[in-house]
Structure 1
Amino acid sequence: MTNKVKEIWTSGQVVINGWLSIPSGFSAEVMAQCGFDSITVDLQHGVQDYHSMVACLQAMGAFPVTPMVRVPWNEPGIIGKVLDAGAYGVICPMINSAEEAEALVRACKYPPRGARSNGPVRAGFRGPGGAYQATANEQTLCLPMIETRAAVENMEAILDVDGIAGVYVGPSDLGFSYGLTPKLDRDEPDIIEIFRKLLRECEQRGLYAGIHCSGPAGAKRAIDLGFKLVTLLSDIGMMASAARQWVGETRGGGGQQG
């Protein structure tokens, strides 16, 4: 079991992450052959359920992408199940304190570091018996989301929790918690300063920060700031954006009016 995301980070490069909200193994297969380094199945805000998530992980298996899952909440049952299904990374929303980050790590890791129950029903397919358990704690990424004012206030304590590989920023909820309009690509000076502080604190600890973006332009700005994982919107967002653009170009180019 090796994690491509960890290898990319170790090499000093940036991870380009895809995002799956559509509950379809076929759309996951399409996304997986597009060149992403990792792809995350969204169980929080997408319309995925556990069975569609498994289908997506199966579809991605034929391609050199790291499969990850954003779980709905910081709850050990679902965290263990997505890892057992083959997720190599867990992104967990609304982590606001060191205690919540510690609970996340314990749910993600086998003893002695954590309390994850042994039963990697699908994750353990590859290799001889026991091979998965021997490397899972090291190779499985645990990424708490920083997306609230409370999380910012407790930033250093969260980052000090042993076992997290980094953090994932939810810029929409983060801005929302500061009374701003929820959106992905933030440009407010106060929010940018939060990003800069987070990136400095991560670098001091050897951690990596990811962020959700709304496309290549926002991802490029995030990379320039120092983020080491950028998500290029979601499958739904990409499909809708391309469809609107092409319809607009066709109408503007003299196409038939609907």
Structure 2
Amino acid sequence: MRENRLRTLWQAGQAVVNGWLAVPSSFSAEVMAHQGWDSLTVDLQHGVVDYQAMVGMLQAISTTATVPVVRVPWLEPGALMKALDAGAYGVICPMVNTREDAQKLVAYTHYAPRGTRSFGPVRATLYGGADYPQQANDTIVTFAMIETAQALDNLDAILSVEGLDAIYIGPSDLSLALGCRPVFDDVDPPVQQAIEHILARAKAHGLRAGIHNGAPEVAKARVAMGFDFVTMGSDARLLAAGSQQLLQGFRGR
């Protein structure tokens, strides 16, 4: 089976640099994949990407060594299984708030006897290899998003679920949950404290930790803190920022 470079990089003591895809285009996904990102996440939760567009984007990413990841819309078995069947090598699931939620996430993303994932890796075997069914449980990376006050209350119970590989922090939703400004980087003190607490507990449970960032210097600082997976920049934001830079250079503003 094709290696999952997320696991390879982590085993080598390196952090994964992840990009974000919100534009429903296989060509823009291909362009992004050729820039050297360790992984790219197709966002089905908040972007404008539907399932068919996602499949084309995963195919485009597979022209490179970049690892294809999908953030599913919700903790729903069909969405998780179809993302994996399409060839995602990692899934990020939002709003995991309880131990039961985490148990469901692990079950939906693993074949029996470790889970309840239905068998039908239609494209996954093309991407992963003929032995995908035998190796998928140990190759796929499953992230649970920690982004609510309820998840914080149940943090250790969530992190103790066997088969969960990693957590992913959404600073904006976490900020809103704690009554603070919804930002990625310059978070308010209660959010910073929560981020540090989540990271420490994830490490104590032997899980990898990821977080969303807006700027490279913040992502670097969070890697120095101990984060294993840092997202910085989406295709849509990079397109807007690049356009603004060109126009400001031309118009002198």
What TM-score, normalized by structure 1, do the two folds share?
A: 0.94
One-letter amino acid matched to 1:117: S
Aligned residue runs from structure 1 range 93-108, under 5 A: 93-108=94-109
Report the more deviating stretch, 208-217 or 67-76. 208-217
Q: What are the superposed Cα offsets for residues 160-204 of structure 1, whole Å, 9 maximum, x if unpaired? A: 011111100000000011111211114322211211121111222
Q: Deviations over 1:73-102 (max 9, x none)?
A: 000001000000000001000111110011
- Deviations 1:117-136, CA, capped at 9 Å, x for gaps: 0000000125774x111110
Q: For residues 128 and 197 of structure 1, what CA distance do their matches in structure 2 show?
A: 39
Check whether the contact 2:180–2:188 (CA below 8 A) recurs between aligned residues: no
Matching residue's letter, 2:234: S
Matches within 5 A, 1:147-166: 147-166=147-166
The root-mean-square deviation of aligned C-alpha atoms, in Å, is 1.3
- Distance in structure 1 (CA, Å) of the matches to 2:149 and 2:95: 10
Change (3 A) 1:186 1:152: farther
Q: How far apart are the structure 1 equivalents of 2:22 and 2:77?
A: 22
Equivalent in the alignment of 1:239? 239
- Which string of whole-angstrom CA distances, capped at 9 and with x for unpartnered residues, describes residues 99-119 of structure 1? 001111110000011000000
Write the letter of the residue equivalent to 1:61.
S
CA distance in 2, matches of 1:187, 1:80: 34
- The answer for the alignment partner of 1:219 in structure 2 is 219
- Asked if the contact 1:17–1:231 (Cα under 8 Å) also holds between the matched residues in 2, the reply is yes
The answer for the alignment partner of 1:169 in structure 2 is 169
Partner in structure 1 of residue 28 of structure 2: 27
Gaps of 5+ in 1: 254-258
Moved more, 54-63 or 236-245: 236-245
Alignment of 1:85-124 (within 5 A): 85-124=86-125
Q: Partner residue of 2:181?
A: 181
Asked whether the equivalents of residues 171 and 186 of structure 1 are also in contact (C-alpha less than 8 Å), the reply is no
Residue identity over aligned pairs, in percent, reads 48
Structure 1 segments (4+ residues) deviating >6 Å: none
Give the TM-score taking structure 2 as reference length.
Answer: 0.96
Number of positions where the alignment pairs a residue of Structure 1 with one of Structure 2: 252
Aligned to 1:38: 39
Q: Deviations over 1:205-232 (max 9, x none)?
A: 2211101111212212221222111111
